Structure 1
Amino acid sequence: MKISFMSLIILLGCLLFNSASVMALHHEPQNAQESDGKMSNNEGKVIDIIDTTGYTYMELENGGNRFWIAAPTTKVNKGDHIRFIENMVMTNFTSKTLNRTFSTLIFVTSTEVKK
């Protein structure tokens, strides 16, 4: 099977673009808040918690927006300020365990309670 020169260029461009995006995600500033006092997109205040086997579902609030994340089982309390590492975003995700559908659910690999 022959690969055209143009296909090879496009493939390399996609690989480089994705690598740059991944590096940008993993090299965010370590401070809990941006210089203007707002939380980063990967942070929020815990509004609600649902614990299940293997997962902790958390409703977070950030700048007036509410959203749900699912993390490996985590000890967290309402009102905690957490930072998370996003893994995958699912739309219209149905949890069979909870018998509930989330319009958007962010699966995360880890969370950290900010002090």
Structure 2
Amino acid sequence: MRLKLIVFIATIAFAFIACSKEPDQKINKEQPAVKAAHEVTVKEVLNVTEYTYLRVMENDKEYWMACPKAEIKVGEVLTYNQAMEMKNFESKDLNKTFESIFFVDKLELKLGVGAMNQPMKPTITQESVQVEKASGGITIAQLFDNPSAYSNRTVTIKGKVVKINKGIMGKNWLHIQDGTKSGSNFDLTVTTQDNAGKDDVVTVTGKIVLNKDFGYGYSYKVMMEDAKVQGGKDPHKMMSM
């Protein structure tokens, strides 16, 4: 059965998702089952700090899934309706790269409803970064100090790539930091068709979009879309090689 990717819809009411840990989740086995699009049998369970990784079988197809940390056992039959596929997803906890993995925020036991309703939130921490402002550009602090002034405008920001996910919804997703901050906001999410690597110092130019929610906990007060990326490796990292 071919898995269907979730349709992502922009909203105008959500605040930026903070960088927080996911609480442990438990599956409620007492509620009646709800008919779902996909039914899988658990073949392997890998628990890490925030997530539970599952190798599952659906009909004659085997694949990997991930959900907020939960109590799931090998042999259990689970159902779900929607999933978001990530290509070449790297789990640092497992020291493993998944060629393809499907993230879900709600699973159900075949005889009970799963209570995994917490969104999948990216965990981003502030790094010790000091990047000079791009010529003619702005800093992350300036952007978050007055985001409405930059809404739907094209701006340029220079920063260090601290996290990257490639091939999600046909785009590469970068998190960049420049060492500045406004309140608790120190990280800018950028979507692009261009390539970049973790620890690259890059200059990104793209349109600023406010209050956008993609579901699954990916909600942003401020982000940059369809950016052009210029730049290379962190010079300090290159010197140490």
TM-score by length of 1: 0.62
Aligned to 2:35: 31
Rounded to whole Å, the distance in 2 between the matches of 1:70 and 1:78 is 14
Gap change, CA 1:85 and 1:53, over 3 Å in 2? farther
Rounded to whole Å, the distance in 2 between the matches of 1:85 and 1:78 is 20
- Relative to its length, the structure with more strand (as a share) is 1
Where structure 1 has 5 or more consecutive residues not aligned to the other structure, the ranges are 1-17, 20-29, 33-39
Contact kept, 8 Å, 1:84 with 1:109, in 2: the verdict is no
Gap change, CA 1:85 and 1:52, over 3 Å in 2? farther
Rounded to whole Å, the distance in 1 between the matches of 2:46 and 2:101 is 13
Deviation at 1:90, TM superposition (A): 0.4
Contact kept, 8 Å, 1:76 with 1:113, in 2: the verdict is no
Per-residue deviation, residues 19-39 of structure 1 (Å, max 9, x unmatched): 9xxxxxxxxxx436xxxxxxx
Aligned to 2:126: none
Runs (4+) of structure 1 exceeding 4 A deviation are: none
- Relative to its length, the structure with more helix (as a share) is 1
The amino acid of 2:45's aligned partner reads I
Contact kept, 8 Å, 1:44 with 1:61, in 2: the verdict is yes
Aligned length: 80
Gap change, CA 1:62 and 1:87, over 3 Å in 2? closer
Paired residues for 1:3-82 under 5 Å: 30-31=34-35, 40=37, 42-82=38-78
Rounded to whole Å, the distance in 2 between the matches of 1:73 and 1:84 is 16
Rounded to whole Å, the distance in 1 between the matches of 2:69 and 2:82 is 15
Where structure 2 has 5 or more consecutive residues not aligned to the other structure, the ranges are 1-6, 9-33, 112-241
Rounded to whole Å, the distance in 1 between the matches of 2:35 and 2:83 is 21
Larger radius of gyration: 2
RMSD of aligned C-alpha atoms? 1.9
The amino acid of 1:104's aligned partner reads S
The amino acid of 1:103's aligned partner reads E
Contact kept, 8 Å, 1:86 with 1:106, in 2: the verdict is no
Contact kept, 8 Å, 1:85 with 1:109, in 2: the verdict is no
User: Which range moved further: 58-67 or 85-94?
Assistant: 85-94
